[in-house]
Structure 1
């Protein structure tokens, strides 16, 4: 099987990609466009790209907006209240139905790798059991990393620490946390120490909802980075959101960046969610409420972009399109120069693959034949036109394929 007439990221010209036994066997430049056989996939000069990576989403809450009540204020904390109302309604069938529907939506939009945060502040841990089950069941179509996420705190929720331990025993891949939501600064720091110890005990990755607040005095990021560095696991740790960084002054950030760089931790920003949830206490001027994506990237640190939510109590929109999150992120962070555009897809591909520590990711000889076909010739044209995902292929097998949208009638001007 071959993919012919394909363009590849950061390369000129057309390419033929040979696939054997579900693996990329050869990648060869073409001197000109060639005709396809019945067994070939003709890319027609479109961009063949590594699959998109969704590094931060809440599959257990997906498709629950308005159940039983809508988040009327649109705030983060009312979202947590509404989710607390929805949790007693959870059951295995409900979770399986919504997760499968959401994962199908993500696959249709080019995603093959997902990190999902699953709430552990539920004594039944039904969502954790169900997501670990689905992770194994759906592995032929998608990779899922399950994060044990204490939505209402490790030490501020009854039996929260024991529930986190149970989640690890059930099979969570990643240890989560939310130190800024703990009742006190001391409990927040204690929660960071607890989750680092869990990660060391179970040899797991770490992904913390960290300083997802406008408060410039919320500075758990420095504590997380230091603890990760001291434990020697910085490259296994991700700080998600870190929106308080948008409210830090530059003098503090200058000092903070030195620590962050030395620690080696990763970052995830969720542009559509953060621009919606943050700045709620401002009149004008109003903060944008995103972490410093542009500055972190310029300093050589790794940042991935994510959707966070799809139709849940925190964000009642969402359509599974990571390209939309990328578009929002570049606009909000004022990363609108040509040099930003030409590598834009890194934020939803390579960068997120790195923080998830995915092995053999990317289009290279010897790697699994996992790829998507995007309508566009390069990062810039895909971004500018919000290119469609025309094909999603995993281990050489087609998961999804669609025809490009076409205008069938246009008035003559």
Structure 2
């Protein structure tokens, strides 16, 4: 396979990419645009980019909004209550059907790697078992990581610690936590220490739902970062959401950022869901409730974006399009300068791959030939146009292909002039 007339990120030149045996064999600069020949794919000057990465979603809960009741208040806590009502209905066939439908939606929109959370506060552990089995079945088609996530608290839920350890023995890739939802501050801190111990014992990554609340006194992030620093685990540890940081005062954040940078932990923000769930106890002024994405980027701390939910008790919209999530983040976090646009796609590609510790990711000679072609010629134009994913290729095989929309006639142009 050969891709001609391709734009690469942060380059004004056209390129030819040659793929052999499922890997990038060569990447060469073109002096001019080339005519298309047999067995070549003409990118027509569009952007060839590493695949999108979805680092935070809940496949076990996807497509369950309104079952059996809707989250009427729009709060995180009612979402958890609605999910408690749905859990008794779970079975393998139910989870597989919804998870596969959601994965297909993500793949159609350029995603080739997914980190999904699965609830461990369910004695059957059917979510963990089903998603780990799916991960193994789909390993040649998509990179899937499963997080053992204690939705109702690892230490506050009956037998929660034993269920977490059983989930890791079943084969979960990542240890999760939710310290701010434990009954007390002490239990929250103990849960962080425990999950890091489990990560070391089972050689797992860590991804914590951390301070997903508007309370400025919820400060488990500093505890997580400090433990990660002291145990030299930072690059393998992720703090998801951290929406309380939106409510921290600047003096405290100045101190906190020094620790965060030294710890080398990763961050995931889910802006569409956070702006929907947070600020629910405010009248006006009303908080956005999204973590300090712009400030984290400016401090060179790794931060990426996820969708979190697609049509579930916490968020009843979602369409699998990470470009939509990125668009929201740029607006909400006021990252609207050209310097912000120039590397915007990092937050749904390279940064997410770093968070998930993916190997062989990126358009480089010798790497697996995993890439997408986006409608646009750089980060800015793709973001502005919300460009379609025209082609998705995995290990040299086309998995998604679509044609850009064409306007066949424009009578409104001549009539309006």
Say whether the fold is shared (TM-score over 0.5).
yes
Query: Corresponding residue for 1:145?
Result: 145
Query: Corresponding residue for 2:99?
Result: 99
Distance in 2, matches of 1:82 and 1:39, equals: 52
Matches of residues 9-408 of structure 1 in structure 2 within 5 Å? 9-408=9-408
Partner deviation per Cα, 1:132-165 (whole Å, 9 max, x = no partner)? 0000111122100100000000011010000000
Q: Which moved more, 1:27-36 or 1:82-91?
A: 27-36
Using the TM superposition, give the Cα deviation of residue 231 of structure 1 relative to its aligned residue in structure 2, in angstroms.
Answer: 1.3
Distance in 2, matches of 1:119 and 1:38, equals: 49
Using the TM superposition, give the Cα deviation of residue 408 of structure 1 relative to its aligned residue in structure 2, in angstroms.
Answer: 3.2
Using the TM superposition, give the Cα deviation of residue 240 of structure 1 relative to its aligned residue in structure 2, in angstroms.
Answer: 0.2
Using the TM superposition, give the Cα deviation of residue 300 of structure 1 relative to its aligned residue in structure 2, in angstroms.
Answer: 1.2
Unaligned 5+ residue runs, structure 1?
A: none
Using the TM superposition, give the Cα deviation of residue 34 of structure 1 relative to its aligned residue in structure 2, in angstroms.
Answer: 1.1
Q: Which moved more, 1:137-146 or 1:17-26?
A: 137-146
Using the TM superposition, give the Cα deviation of residue 407 of structure 1 relative to its aligned residue in structure 2, in angstroms.
Answer: 2.4
Distance in 2, matches of 1:401 and 1:139, equals: 21
Distance in 2, matches of 1:408 and 1:208, equals: 50
Query: Corresponding residue for 1:2?
Result: 2
Partner deviation per Cα, 1:49-79 (whole Å, 9 max, x = no partner)? 0000100000000000011111111111000
Distance in 1, matches of 2:256 and 2:17, equals: 44
The alignment partner of 2:32 has SS state of coil
The alignment partner of 2:112 has SS state of strand
Using the TM superposition, give the Cα deviation of residue 409 of structure 1 relative to its aligned residue in structure 2, in angstroms.
Answer: 3.7
Using the TM superposition, give the Cα deviation of residue 41 of structure 1 relative to its aligned residue in structure 2, in angstroms.
Answer: 1.0
Distance in 2, matches of 1:300 and 1:371, equals: 25
The alignment partner of 2:365 has SS state of coil
Q: What is the count of residue pairs matched by the alignment? A: 413
The alignment partner of 1:180 has SS state of helix
Distance in 2, matches of 1:163 and 1:230, equals: 27
Using the TM superposition, give the Cα deviation of residue 37 of structure 1 relative to its aligned residue in structure 2, in angstroms.
Answer: 2.2
Distance in 1, matches of 2:169 and 2:210, equals: 24
Distance in 1, matches of 2:75 and 2:90, equals: 23
Distance in 2, matches of 1:405 and 1:88, equals: 44
The alignment partner of 2:147 has SS state of strand
Distance in 2, matches of 1:37 and 1:137, equals: 37
Partner deviation per Cα, 1:232-276 (whole Å, 9 max, x = no partner)? 111110000000000000111111111111111010000100010
Distance in 1, matches of 2:376 and 2:139, equals: 29
The alignment partner of 1:297 has SS state of helix
The alignment partner of 1:392 has SS state of strand
Using the TM superposition, give the Cα deviation of residue 375 of structure 1 relative to its aligned residue in structure 2, in angstroms.
Answer: 0.2
The alignment partner of 2:392 has SS state of strand
The alignment partner of 1:115 has SS state of strand
The alignment partner of 1:17 has SS state of strand
Distance in 1, matches of 2:138 and 2:37, equals: 32
Distance in 1, matches of 2:409 and 2:85, equals: 49
TM-score using structure 1 length = 0.99
Distance in 2, matches of 1:199 and 1:47, equals: 38
Using the TM superposition, give the Cα deviation of residue 31 of structure 1 relative to its aligned residue in structure 2, in angstroms.
Answer: 1.2
The alignment partner of 1:55 has SS state of strand
